[in-house]
Amino acid sequence: MENSTIQKITDDLLPQKFGKQGKLWVAFLSILCVIGFIAYCRQVYKGLVVTSMRDYVSWGIYISNFVFFVAISLVGSLITAVLRLTNAEWSTPLTRIAEIIAVSAITFASIIIVVDMGRPDRFYNLFLHGRLQSPIIWDVIVITTYFFISLLLLYFPLLPDLQILLKYKEKTSKGLYKLYSFLGSFWKNTPEQEKISNRAINILSITIIPVAFSIHTVTSWLFATTYRPGWDSTNFGAYFISGAFLVGAGAVIVAMYVFRAHYNLEKYITDSHFDKMGKVLVLLALLYLYFNVNEFLVPAFKMKKSEEEHLMGLFTGEFAAVFWFAISTAMIIPILILVFKNGRKPFPAFIAGILVVIGSWFKRYLIVTPTLLHPFLPMHDVPANYKHYFPTWEEWAIAIGSLAGALLIITIFARIFPIIPIHETIIETEQHEKA
């Protein structure tokens, strides 16, 4: 391949300094994070009383936000592992986007679960007195494992790119150069190193699939291992996994669109990528819809007394608006958009992706809260505000701050590292030209 082509690819994909837009965006996210942090300080000082959670609704948007983060992080395994192992080469430019979404989401899943704890100062008890029979311990184990595998899957493919970055010393600041050499100066791109790296990536791609399934299945078991109507379901593991792949794929489409527009990557993230990801999203939305039908139609057919209030609350009661909003924005409307060829063009696909992500966030809220408002024994002998739940500003600020924090990690990552793998793109272009 000509040197000029390589040069062109490298120039296009090297990380760029923040422009005015980028700086504004970073400032905006940072402010949201700071507000969230202030709210959390208030919570630490006063206790969880600053939230709207009370004895009946003892888990609120912190937990639904946690489930959301765990869900979205699953996309790392879908794009990097599942598509890689099935030789779907078109997904190469998307792997790093998916993997950084996974890493930042799982980081904030861990943070938000600590935020939800009444005694975060006793976090160490999980290691000191951990009991293997509790699903929370299972979650701690698999989430930690998933975090490290995802981090490695982000890091190993980055090594050849770090070597390229180190070549362009004049284009990087001193601090970044130091960071690059710390992370990747040992990488010489020898055939032997490449062999080891490829092998490692292959092994990790295989191991990450069961681990990814575990993190979200175990997360679903935090609910399904209880007796409560709405949670006591054998459908829950598969229901959660399918929903997780859906929201993760939606997030990747959104990120693809934003990076492509902002960094002018039309040559690397092409219309065909949106077309293919759009098809993937339709498939996943249909799958999730199927599990939703299972989850609601079967108990609704029987209408057991304990389930009735919960289900009617969702279908026609106080949660009906959110319920139908979530079902239509997370599944039905995106399917209707993406099932048509024109709907899979970048912009409509981007809109569908946003709808999926927003709808999925509210879907998680509906999984957690309504169930807690319908205990077996009626709500009684508690102050009136214990019988309702609407998050306080502190909860919103912390939840939004955590979402902003995840976006901030992705943004800063894209500033420091090439968001599209340079080395792999060059290699694939070479192979393409040979063929």
- Nearer to other proteins by C-beta: 28 or 123? 123
- Contact pick of 88, 137, 166, 400 for other proteins (by CB under 8 A): 137
Selection from 115, 105, 110 nearest residue 40 by Cα: 115
Nearer to other proteins, 101 or 372 (CB): 372
Question: For residues 75 and 112, which CB has a smaller minimum distance to other proteins in the complex?
Answer: 112
d(CA 108, CA 112): 6
Among 14, 111, 136, 261, binds other proteins (CB under 8 A): 136
Residue 321 interacts with other proteins (CB under 8 A): yes or no = no
Stretches 72-80, 103-111, 117-125, 402-410: which one binds other proteins (CB under 8 A)? 117-125
Please give the DSSP secondary-structure letter assigned to residue 171.
G
Could you say which residues in the range 44-103 bind other proteins, by CB under 8 A? Answer: 46-49, 51, 53-56, 58-59
Using CA atoms, how far residue 243 sits from 53, 159, 213, 266, 284, in Å, is 26, 33, 12, 29, 8
Residue 123 binding other proteins, by CB under 8 A: yes
Shortest CB 109 distance to other proteins, Å: 15
In the set 90, 261, 375, 428, which binds other proteins (CB under 8 A)? 375
Smallest distance from the beta carbon of 122 to other proteins, in angstroms? 5
Which is nearer to other proteins, 55 or 430 (by Cβ)?
55
Which one of 74-82, 122-130, 345-353, 398-406 is the stretch in contact with other proteins (CB under 8 A)? 122-130
Under the binding rule (CB under 8 A), the answer on residue 115 touching other proteins is no
Residue 311: φ, ψ to 5°:
-65, -45
How many Å from the N-terminal Cα to the C-terminal Cα in the chain?
12
| Crossing angle for the helix pair 191-224 and 61-73, to the nearest 10 degrees | 150
Q: Is 302 in the site for other proteins (CB under 8 A)?
A: no
Please give the Cα distance from 43 to 46 (Å, whole number). 5
- Under the criterion CB under 8 A, does residue 12 sit at the interface with other proteins? no
User: Can you tell me which of 27, 41, 303, 382 binds other proteins, judged by CB under 8 A?
Assistant: 382
Three-state secondary-structure class, residue 318: coil
Shortest distance (Å) from residue 190 CB to other proteins: 46
Which of the residues 213 through 252 are near other proteins (CB under 8 A)? 222-223, 225-228
* DSSP E strand stretches across 234-285: none
Q: Are 159 and 197 in contact, with CB atoms under 8 Å apart?
A: yes
Gap between the Cα atoms of 300 and 132, Å rounded? 35
399 binds other proteins (CB under 8 A): no
For residue 108, the minimal CB distance to other proteins (Å) is 18
User: Cβ of residue 139: shortest distance to other proteins, in angstroms?
Assistant: 9
Nearer to other proteins, 228 or 415 (CB): 228
Which of these ranges, 111-119, 170-178, 184-192, 324-332, lies near other proteins under the rule CB under 8 A? 111-119
The Cα-based distances of 318 to 21, 144, 310, 323 in angstroms read: 41, 37, 10, 9
CB of 305 to other proteins, least distance (A): 7
Cα 327 to the center of its chain, rounded Å: 19
Least distance from other proteins to the Cβ atom of residue 281, Å: 32
Rg (CA), the chain: 23
> Measured from the CB atom, is 53 or 253 closer to other proteins?
53
Task: Determine the Cα–Cα distance for residues 68 and 247; give it in Å rounded to an integer.
Answer: 8
Three-state secondary structure along 114-169? HHCCCCHHHCCHHHHCCCCCCHHHHHHHHHHHHHHHHHHHHHHHHHHHHHHHHHCH
377 in contact with other proteins (CB under 8 A): yes
The residue assigned the tokens 């430019």 is 93
- For residue 191, state whether it binds other proteins (rule: CB under 8 A): no
Q: Which is nearer to other proteins, 118 or 191 (CB)?
A: 118
Residues 272-291 interacting with other proteins (rule: CB under 8 A): none
Phi, psi of 233 (to 5 degrees): -145, 135
Residue type, 397: A
Indicate the residue among 4 and 133 with the shorter CB distance to other proteins.
133
The count of residues interacting with other proteins (CB under 8 A) is 48
Phi, psi of 373 (to 5 degrees): -80, 0
**Could you say whether residue 133 binds other proteins (CB under 8 A)?**
yes
327 Cβ neighbours under 8 A, 6+ residues apart:
292, 359, 363
Residues making contact with other proteins (CB under 8 A):
46-49, 51, 53-56, 58-59, 116-120, 122-123, 125-126, 128-131, 133-137, 140, 222-223, 225-228, 305-306, 372, 375-383
